[in-house]
Each structure stands twice: as structure tokens, then as C-alpha cells.
Structure 1
Amino acid sequence: MATVGKNVPNVVFKTRVRDESIEGPNPFRWEDKTTADYFAGKRVVLFSLPGAFTPTCSTYQLPNYEKMFGDFQEEGIDAIYCLSVNDAFVMNKWGESQGVKNVGLIPDGSGEFTRKMGMLVKKDNLGFGLRSWRYAAVIDDGEIVGWFEEAGFQDDIDSDPYEFSAPEYVLTWLQDNKPFAKEQVA
């Protein structure tokens, strides 16, 4: 299970990136991205959620991280990533529909990263299958330095807890732990 002081797992993410040399209505190509591509040499906030296009994720979590991106930068964060056990096609369309410009979307289509983080849960009661439990983390050069997991971790939970992984909560933690702010890092 992921905890403070551990490194994020090494995996390869199957992404789709825009390529203007491709004609037609779907000008994207496959591109493998590694854990190092997202986390090496950077201070990032990663938040993970049960699914793209779902109510809490689309109404609060992703839009609020997007809106608060500048506040996170002021606290020394280089990037914010949203991860879900969805494929690259779904994540790209969701980002497009949300007008996302600041938050990077990471498709964990097979759930490998989520499983290795110890956060894979069954959501069969909702017809989702295996998905990520909702959490956030502050990651410094691949090492987890802050961990924000929603309460009640379990399979087939009837509720959708959302408190500790909210951007407001994570930002407050960063403000209270100033060694992670850029202006105070040597």
C-alpha cells in the first residue's frame, strides 16, 4: 500500500497524444508514458478518482483542482495530475468536455498503477468493475511526501466519500508544510 516515504510504482501508461500529421477526425497517436515521465524531478499533486464523467469527479474534484492550479504553483507544485482507471480515449474526452488546461490526465486503463498503489477496489455494485479509491498525494521526485486517502476504503461501498482528497484540503496541508514550497527549497 502507498504511504508517505515510499516511491510511486513504476508502470507504463498507454496514452493518446495529439499529432497534427494525422488527418481525419481523430488526430491522435499512441504514446507510452512512464512513471518517471510524470513524476521524476518534479513536485506534483496526484489525485485519483473512481471514474471520468462521474458526478463528484466532474462537478467538484477535477474542476476545483483546475481552478486552483495557480495556488498550488505558489506552494511549489510543478504539475497536478488526475488519474483514473479509464482508458486514454475516455480520459481525453473527459478532459476536453471539462475544458481542462492545467491538470494532466493519466489513463490507468488496466488499473496497474492503482493496484500497485494498493488503491484498487471493486465497484461492481455500481456496474463499474475495478476502480480507484479516491485519494490524493503530494509527490516529490517520485517519493510520496503527503497522503490524503478518503475514509472507508472497501469494496462495493454505497457512498462516495470526498473530503481529504479535495484540493482545498491538500492546499492547506501544503501551506502548513512550507518546506515543500519552491521559495524555501534550496
Structure 2
Amino acid sequence: MKSNTPLPNVTFQTRVRDDSIDGPNPYRWHDMTTADYFAGKRAILFSLPGAFTPTCSTYQLPGFEANAEAFAAHGIDDIYCLSVNDSFVMNQWAKAQDIKSVKVIPDGAGEFSRKIGMLVRKDNLGFGLRSWRYAAIVNDGVIEAWFEEPGLMDNCPDDPYGVSSPENLLAYLNQAVAAE
């Protein structure tokens, strides 16, 4: 992806809490579009191969969560974590990780990941279709800066991580401030 490219417009099937629903699962379906998430704000979008997986759960998601205030100081309104997982899995992962600042986006069918060119096969790990690891700074739905892990390919034998790390995005933002 290149800077100044608009994000693909898709509809995400999410589950939201609804206190009018009784029982142990008080959630209802709620469609959200790309514009619902990104219009009129400056945000970080990062994507990863799967909820509950080692690098994603140990470094990437917790790192963005821990740095939420530092990102806000750089004018970031929201931080979104996207994965080719359904809303049930994404919501439970956020709960298990005790996430308060990062918001999760379920790309259950991989439509967004496909349209942005990041849908890859991970059959070698038993995952099927998943997102390649990347991050972006997005301004009003348009990519401002793009951070893609090297080696984009189906069934990659490695899981590169570094380019899309929160530390790398913070370094980019700090450098941009220093250049002003």
C-alpha cells in the first residue's frame, strides 16, 4: 500500500453489548463500515495473523495498548487492531488481554484484508486465510503512512515482526515532530 491511498470500504459484522438482552451473552449484531471507524479522525490500524497467537498476544496488541497515551500525544484519536477472526473471537481476545484503549475490528471473512492486498494463506500453520502483519497511520480514511512486514507471501515459513511494531510507529511519529 502507498501513502495517500484510501482504505477499502467494507462492512464489518461486529457484536456489541445490549443490556436489553437477558442471559450470559447480551450481545447483538451491529454492522460497522470502514467510514464508521476512520472518517473524520486520525487513527492507527494494525493487523495481525490471529487473535490469541504468541507474537500478537505477547508483543503487538499489548504494545499498542501500553503506548496509547503516547500515540494520543501525537494526535492519534483511536487505535484499531484488525484480524481475520470473527467478532466472537476478537471480543474475547480483547477481554482476555484486558484491553481498554485499543479497539478490535473483526474481518471474519477477510474482505478488508483482501481488498487492501494483505490476505495470505497460512495453511502451513493450520490457519487458512489470514492477514499479513502490517500497520498504518490513517487520516480521515486515507493512509498517511504504511508499515508492512517484509516477505509478504502465502505460507511464509517465518512470522516477521518489527516494522509494524508500536515502537516503530512511535519512532516514525517522533521523527515527524522533530522534522517540523
- Shorter-chain TM-score: what band? over 0.9
The aligned runs of 1:86-101 (5 Å cut-off) are 86-101=85-100
1:149 and 1:24 map into 2 onto residues whose CA distance is: 42
**1:33 aligns to 2:32 (yes or no):** yes
SS in structure 2 of the partner of residue 148 of structure 1 = strand
Q: What is the aligned partner in structure 2 of residue 117 from structure 1?
A: 116
1:177 and 1:9 map into 2 onto residues whose CA distance is: 26
1:169 and 1:133 map into 2 onto residues whose CA distance is: 17
Q: What is the aligned partner in structure 1 of residue 16 from structure 2?
A: 17
Question: 1:177 deviation in Å?
Answer: 1.6
Q: Which runs of 4+ in 1 moved over 3 A?
A: none
Q: What is the aligned partner in structure 1 of residue 72 from structure 2?
A: 73
2:69 and 2:17 map into 1 onto residues whose CA distance is: 25
Report sequence identity in percent.
63
Question: 1:178 deviation in Å?
Answer: 2.9
SS in structure 1 of the partner of residue 88 of structure 2 = helix
**Structure 2 unaligned spans of 5+:** none
Deviations 1:27-53 (A, max 9, x none): 000000000010000000000000000
User: What TM-score do the two structures reach when normalised by structure 1?
Assistant: 0.94
**Structure 1 unaligned spans of 5+:** none
1:20 and 1:174 map into 2 onto residues whose CA distance is: 39
Q: What is the aligned partner in structure 1 of residue 131 from structure 2?
A: 132
1:153 corresponds to which letter in structure 2?
L
Q: What is the aligned partner in structure 2 of residue 57 from structure 1?
A: 56
Aligned residues: 179
Question: 1:126 deviation in Å?
Answer: 0.3
2:104 and 2:177 map into 1 onto residues whose CA distance is: 26
Q: What is the aligned partner in structure 1 of residue 148 from structure 2?
A: 149
The two structures, once aligned, show a CA RMSD in angstroms of 1.1
Question: 1:87 deviation in Å?
Answer: 0.2
Q: What is the aligned partner in structure 1 of residue 159 from structure 2?
A: 160
1:122 and 1:169 map into 2 onto residues whose CA distance is: 26
